[in-house]
Amino acid sequence: MSEQQTPVQLRHLCRSNQFSQQTSGRCPGYTQANLVILPERDAYDFLLFAQRNPKPCPILEVTNSGSRRLHDFAQDVDLARDFPRYRIYQQGKLVAEPLAVVDYWRADLVSFLIGCSFSFEAALLQAGIEMRHITEQVNVPMYNTNIVAKTAGRFHGNYVVSMRPIPENQVVRAVTVTEQLPQVHGTPLQIGNPAALGITDLARPDYGDAVTIKPGEVPVFWACGVTPQAVVMQSKPEFVITHAPGHMLVTDIKDQDLKYQL
Amino acid sequence: MSEQQTPVQLRHLCRSNQFSQQTSGRCPGYTQANLVILPERDAYDFLLFAQRNPKPCPILEVTNSGSRRLHDFAQDVDLARDFPRYRIYQQGKLVAEPLAVVDYWRADLVSFLIGCSFSFEAALLQAGIEMRHITEQVNVPMYNTNIVAKTAGRFHGNYVVSMRPIPENQVVRAVTVTEQLPQVHGTPLQIGNPAALGITDLARPDYGDAVTIKPGEVPVFWACGVTPQAVVMQSKPEFVITHAPGHMLVTDIKDQDLKYQL
């Protein structure tokens, strides 16, 4: 499959179930998005959670109730079909992993598009900073932390962070590059001291895979988009749809234009 | 009255009805905030409106339903008493302008603290840029525009902008300074062309007062915090409380720390 597809072409392939793989590396330069779909009755608490915790939960767009369309991040989009794969949870239990959620759709569903670290990794790579997990072809290592998110209604929990080893002489650059991207987690939360976050062993991440940390490299921690999903699941909502991990929506917005979407 | 008061001292004076004036110039360096209080049933639409229109509607903090306290922007605060003066609207009509709203309080009220242009004017002044309306001791001129805000539920309307004349050679600086303050309207919407916003006569603002524009100065337009209030009023909600114009809450957060509250 060519990587020269446009975002709308890739979405059409998803829509017809011809593409159901992970989206990492697809349509380079275009913003990819995480998904959380909740019934209206939980939507206010979730939006408030995001307002109070913008670093782990950067909202790109929220749909009107029942709508499967977007206004800002994509034209020609069907949110119930254009992700390559979904997950359906009932009472906090994974019950299905379909290629479309048309059959599960309800008029009271609100979709939240959430920023994805692919966007800031593209910016870091462009600034000449190696992403070790990409080099080693594994998932980024993620860790539970002792940072308590601000509670909103039924949603509460702790931050999850992702870690990237950065050479000492590139740490400042990693901060200034990600400062430009507040809509995808922004600046790091912590530089160099995992214990300050309650992380005891970098070799044993809670999600994703461990990566090599070379001499002269510093572990740098960013708020992670797994946080909102972990927080939602913890509250065992009656019904929630998410994307399957790594199976994102590719939007029409370029990463370099993200900061102007504010 | 001394201007050396701390924010908490000024709030205590408001709380005991000993201070009921405008807050411009009070506790310099500390962030002041606008207020919109709505019943829970309207809160989701308003929060969504703010999420979709962050430039005119920069939310600083949202309370839990019924709570009169804050977590982030002030300790020792009572939102029903610590603004110098309030306005009560019923079905879109101004019915009272009390010094406290304790008697109007309901368990279903949600308070929205919204960023105020005082914060970015302080930053512009510090950067050596004259604020003409301050020099001329009038209110900043504000104009209705043709920019349609993104609708959210019952809330819809057009942007209101504020205008400040800036010398040509300081326009770039005005952009870079306000780019640092996304929580108080951020960068300008328009530089130099009022007609592009549908504004026909700068000498006749829709709100506030006209100011002198000298030769070599450019009118620069920013999204204005009057927008959310205008938008709320337009929908004639059953019940809403706001601060009285110019009578803000003085918070414990310094303007220079605002960008780190994200």
- Interface check for B262 against chain A (CB to CB < 8 A): the answer is yes
d(Cα A13, Cα A100) in Å, to the nearest integer? Answer: 12
Residues of A in contact with B179 (CB under 8 A): none
Question: Is beta strand A93-96 parallel, antiparallel or unpaired with respect to A142-148?
Answer: unpaired
Which of A44, A50, A71 minimises the CB distance to B44?
A44
Domain B118-227 has CATH 3.30.2040.10: yes
Are B51 and A47 a contacting pair at CB < 8 A?
yes
Average pLDDT of span B175-197: 92
Give residue B221's pLDDT band: very low, low, confident or very high (50, 70, 90).
Answer: very high
B182 touches chain A (CB under 8 A): yes
Instruction: Check CB contact of B59 with chain A, cutoff 8 Å.
Output: yes
Average pLDDT of the residues in B61-80: 97
Average pLDDT, chain B: 93
The nearest CA of chain A is from the CA of B61 a distance in Å of 8
Interface residue A262 vs chain B (CB under 8 A): yes
* Nearest by CB: B186 against A54, A186, A262: A262
Per-residue pLDDT at A2 exceeds 60: no
pLDDT of residue B119: 84
ipTM score for this prediction: 0.86
Q: Name the residue with higher pLDDT: A155 or B3.
A: A155
Q: Whose CA is closest to A163, among A128, A126, A207?
A: A207
Residue B4: pLDDT above 80?
Answer: no
- Whether the CB of A51 is below 8 Å from some CB of chain B: the reply is yes
Number of cross-chain residue pairs from A and B with Cβ atoms under 8 Å apart = 34
B213 contacts chain A (CB < 8 A)? no
Domain A7-117+236-261 class in CATH: alpha beta
CB contact under 8 Å between B48 and A71, yes or no, is no
Using alpha carbons, list the distances in angstroms from residue B115 to B31, B34, B50, B118, B158: 8, 6, 11, 9, 18
Contact between B150 and A51 using a beta-carbon 8 Å cutoff: no
A-chain residues within 8 Å CB-CB of B186? 262
pLDDT value at residue B1: 47
**What CATH number does the domain located at B7-116+236-261 have?**
3.40.1640.10
Give the model confidence (pLDDT) of B8-45 as tens digits.
999 999 999 999 998 988 898 899 999 999 999 999 99
Q: How do the domains of chain A map onto residue ranges?
A: 7-117+236-261, 120-227
Chain A, window 67-86: residues with a beta carbon less than 8 angstroms from a chain B beta carbon: 71
| A86-111 pLDDT per residue, tens | 999 998 889 999 999 999 999 999 99
Q: Nearest CA to CA, how far is A54 from chain B (Å)?
A: 7
Nearest to B112 by CA among A88, A204, A157, A52: A52
Q: Residue A262: which of B48, B54, B153 has the nearest Cβ? A: B54
How many other CB atoms sit within 10 Å of the CB of residue B100? 20
Please give the pLDDT value at position B3. 52
Residue A139 pLDDT grade (very low, low, confident, very high; cuts 50, 70, 90): confident
**pLDDT tens sequence across B118-154:** 888 888 999 999 999 999 998 899 999 999 999 999 9
Question: What is the third-level CATH fold of A120-227?
Answer: PSTPO5379-like fold (3.30.2040)
Axis-axis angle for helices B40-52, A40-52 (nearest 10): 50
Strands (E), chain A: 30-39, 59-62, 86-90, 93-96, 109-115, 142-148, 158-167, 190-191, 217-223, 239-243, 249-254
